[in-house]
Amino acid sequence: MPATAPIIILDAGPLVALADASDPHNRWTAAWIGGAARPFVVTSAAIAEATHLLGNGPRALAFLEKLVEDPAPLSVLAEMQRWGRRMDYADACAVLLARKHRGAVVLTTDHRDFSIYRVPFVSPKGEYSP
């Protein structure tokens, strides 16, 4: 995918919501993804977090295995150092991809943390665009 393609970067929360119909954010996530005319990607860190939250179930694994794009680990660690203990690995991956892909937006259920990272994001509580 070219670096200029407008994409949606899925955080772990929406992945869990899409894979689990009983998740409280399932309808919001499905509506947002269904209405978006843009491709989406997810990092392996978000997949690791989602598979853990989903109990490593075979249906969840089959659902998640198709959508991985990862930044270099050293870049991710540098981004984490910039934000200190506030940022985890999966968030750092999403932030770096949001900066790489012009027009990208992170779809997350983590409004509190993403509200400080200064990248475009959408959550059930609202959206932000710097």
pLDDT in tens, 30-65: 998 887 777 888 888 998 899 899 888 888 777 777
Kindly report each contact of residues 74-78 with a partner whose C-beta sits within 8 Å and lies 24 or more positions away, as own/partner.
76/45
Of 100, 93, 117, 119, the C-alpha closest to 15 is: 93
* Residue 89 domain boundaries: 8-128
**pLDDT at residue 123 greater than cutoff 90:** yes
Is 93 contained in some domain?
A: yes
Residue 68 lies in a domain: yes
pLDDT band at 17 (very low <50, low <70, confident <90, very high): very high
Tally of domains in the chain: 1
Whole-model pTM over 0.85: no
Q: Is residue 2 part of a domain?
A: no
Residue 1 is assigned to a structural domain of this protein? no
For residue 4, pLDDT beyond 50 = no
Residue 83 pLDDT greater than 80, yes or no: yes
Q: Which two tokens stand for residue 63?
A: 């659902």
Return d(Cα 101, Cα 120) in angstroms, integer: 11
Instruction: Please check whether residue 63 lies inside any domain of the structure.
Output: yes
Q: What is the CATH number of the domain that holds 61?
A: 3.40.50.1010
Give how far Cα 92 sits from Cα of 20, 25, 28, Å: 25, 22, 24
Cα distance between residue 107 and residue 100, in whole Å: 16
- Asked whether residue 118 is assigned to any structural domain, the reply reads yes
In a domain, 3, yes or no: no
Average predicted confidence (pLDDT) for the chain? 87
Residue 2 is predicted with a pLDDT of 43
40-41 and 105-107 beta bridge pairing: unpaired
Q: How confident is the model at residue 7 (pLDDT cuts 50, 70, 90)?
A: confident
Which of the four pLDDT bands, split at 50, 70 and 90, describes residue 76? Answer: very high
